[in-house]
Amino acid sequence: MMQDRTRMPPRSPATAAPATVPAAPATSSAAPAAADLVRCRWCTDDPLYVRYHDGEWGVPSRDPRHLFEMLILEGFQAGLSWITILRRREALRAALLDFDPEALARTDEAWVQDRMQDATLIRNRLKLRAAGANARAWLALPDPVGLVWSVVGGRPVIHHYAAPEDAPVAGPEAEALSRLLKRHGFTFVGPTICQSYLQAIGCLMDHTTDCHRHRALAG
C-alpha cells in the first residue's frame, strides 16, 4: 500500500507515464468497464487517483528521472494527502525544473525565495531547499538506481495483502533505504516516506489481492 500520511496513498492525466510504466489496461466489450474494476481501497473515484493507481503505482521503474521525481514528490507529500500532490504535480514539475536533478542541483536561496511567492505550489521553504539538496546528493551517487533497488535485492518484493492496512507503515526495506539515503546527505527521507516511495516505484508490490492490478503485477 501507499501510506497516506493523512492518505493511503506517485501520474496526472496530463503527464506522460515513464517508459517503464505501461498504460492502464484497456477495456473491451468482453472486459469490465474501468469504473467496475476493483481497486485498492485507498484509490477513490477521482480520475487522477484512478489513472495513477492503474498506470503507475506499484509498476517497477528503473528510469532514473522517474525515480528522482517520485523521491522529490514523496518528500513534498509529507504531512499532506497524496491527492494534493497529484493535483499539483504539473505545477511542481514546472517550478522544479522538470525534476531535472542537474538543474535543481544549481538552485540557491534566491530560487527558493522566488518559488515561495508562487501560490500554485506547496510553499514550504524546507521542502524547496531539500529539492536542491537531494538533487546534489542524487548526482553524487555512482548508481542511484542500483542503490534504491539494492534494498529489495534488485527485484520487486511481491506481497499478498488482503487490505492496505496489512502493510507496515515502514518495513525493513524502507528502514534500510532511509538509512542509506540519509548517509548520502538526503533529507525528507524518513522510513515512512521511503515506504511509500518503494511502493510507488514498484520495489514493493503492495496492491491488495482483490485489486485488478495485483494479478498483472504479481505474475
Residue tagged active-site, from 49, 52, 57, 197: 52
CATH number, domain with residue 118: 1.10.340.30
Is 17 inside a domain boundary? no
Summarize pLDDT for 110-135 with one digit per residue, the tens. Answer: 999 999 999 888 999 999 999 999 99
Residue 14, judged by CB atoms within 10 A of its CB (0-12, 13-18, 19+), counts as exposed
Q: Count of domains in the chain? A: 1
CB-based contact 165:1 (threshold 8 Å):
yes
The answer to the question of residue 214 being in a domain is: yes
82 a catalytic residue? yes
Q: Exactly one of 42, 56, 69, 74 is catalytic; which is it?
A: 74
What percent of the chain has pLDDT above 90? 81
Exactly one of 49, 57, 82, 197 is catalytic; which is it?
82
95's grid cell: 517550478
User: Does 30 have pLDDT greater than 50?
Assistant: no
**Is there a catalytic annotation at residue 52?**
yes
Other C-beta atoms within 10 Å of 80: how many?
A: 16
Could you give the residue ranges of the DSSP H alpha helices within the chain? 47-55, 64-77, 82-95, 101-104, 109-115, 125-140, 144-150, 172-183, 191-200, 212-218
Residue 141 belongs to a domain = yes
Q: Is residue 24 part of a domain?
A: no
List the domain range (segments joined by +) for residue 124.
38-218
**Is the confidence at residue 158, as pLDDT, over 80?**
yes
Residue corresponding to grid cell 533505504 = 177
Q: Are 176 and 182 in contact (CB under 8 A)?
A: no
Per the annotation, binding residues for Zn(2+) are 40, 53, 207, 211
Q: Is residue 125 part of a domain?
A: yes
Task: Give me the pLDDT at residue 5, please.
Answer: 38
Q: Which of 168, 209, 204 is nearest to 57 (CA)?
A: 204
pLDDT at 13: 32
Residue 209 within any structural domain of the chain:
yes
In DSSP terms, 157 is beta-bridged to 204
- Give me the mean pLDDT over the 145-156 stretch: 98
Does 102 fall in a domain? yes
> Is residue 161 among the annotated active site residues?
no
Q: Considering the entire predicted model, what is its pTM?
A: 0.85
Residue 15 domain-assigned (yes or no): no
Query: Could you tell me if 202 and 156 are in contact, meaning their C-beta atoms sit under 8 angstroms apart?
Result: yes
What pLDDT score does 12 carry?
Answer: 33
Buried b (16+ CB within 10 A) or exposed e, 137-160: bbeebeebbebbbebbeeebeebe
| Cell 517508459 -> residue | 19
Binding residues, as ranges, are 40, 53, 207, 211
